[in-house]
Structure 1
């Protein structure tokens, strides 16, 4: 409500405080939102390392948006991350499995295909191995 100003005045700092409380208790969606807010400075202090940590927690819990975001961040080397095509492909593969509809699935697989075009077969195999290992958790 504070993030959007619904029923209360819009207050990004209050929104972050409430998302942080939920995230610290393990709420995956709150972890994702807190990570995004930390990246785009919406009331959270801009801290790329902290943002990635929150996104990773949400991604590890299977949140599609966090998996897709991490995949794209690793693909581009965004927010202080070094480009890592293996990690990027792993997260994009996992996100593709959770796509809500055919359009979203096509978008994710298109990004994964573009990334894969610049990878060696060994790198693709390693990304697949990591995705299998992640699923086994």
Structure 2
């Protein structure tokens, strides 16, 4: 990705654009480059951006976030988060994507106790999307407009 494109994507993501946040999260979540070479582990950065997009209700971000949490099922707190996000994502997806979310839920849930599954389902049931607010640039003070020359 070109540097100016990456800067624009970063700027848009920081300003609350859910699609940009999703794309940035996917980029940071990649484990290999286009040639198959391993990339630096940027899981925390991927989770940060995918969480911001998922929290705004972007279903594909919710599904990708759940997949990342579900990649390490030995960590039960991540499996609980994976289950929660898979349930939330499945509600907004359809077709093959919905089936994929349901299958991901089942894989993650297989590593949890009944109480942990109930916790994930409870969190999913009470989850609500949030709209990010970004501070608007300060308006110029009255009377300090352009000075005529």
Scaled by the length of structure 1, the TM-score of the pair is 0.76
Deviation for aligned residue 1:136: 7.7
Instruction: Give the match for residue 7 of structure 1.
Output: none
| Counterpart mapping for 1:50-89 below 5 A | 50-77=45-72, 82=75, 84-89=78-83
Instruction: Give the match for residue 6 of structure 1.
Output: none
Structure 1 residues 70 and 24, CA gap change in structure 2 (3 angstroms):
same
Deviation for aligned residue 1:18: 0.8
Structure 1 residues 57 and 127, CA gap change in structure 2 (3 angstroms):
same
Deviation for aligned residue 1:26: 0.6
Gap regions ≥5 residues in structure 2: 34-39, 131-149
Gap regions ≥5 residues in structure 1: 4-10
Q: Structure 2: how far apart are the matches of 1:71 and 1:110? A: 11
CA RMSD of aligned residues (A): 2.3
The answer to which of 109-118 and 23-32 deviates more is 109-118
| Counterpart mapping for 1:22-37 below 5 A | 22-37=12-27
**Is the radius of gyration larger for structure 1 or structure 2?**
2
Aligned length: 121
Structure 1 residues 49 and 109, CA gap change in structure 2 (3 angstroms):
same
RCO higher in 1 or 2 (8 Å CA, sep ≥ 6)?
2
Residue 118 in 1 paired to residue 108 in 2? Answer: no
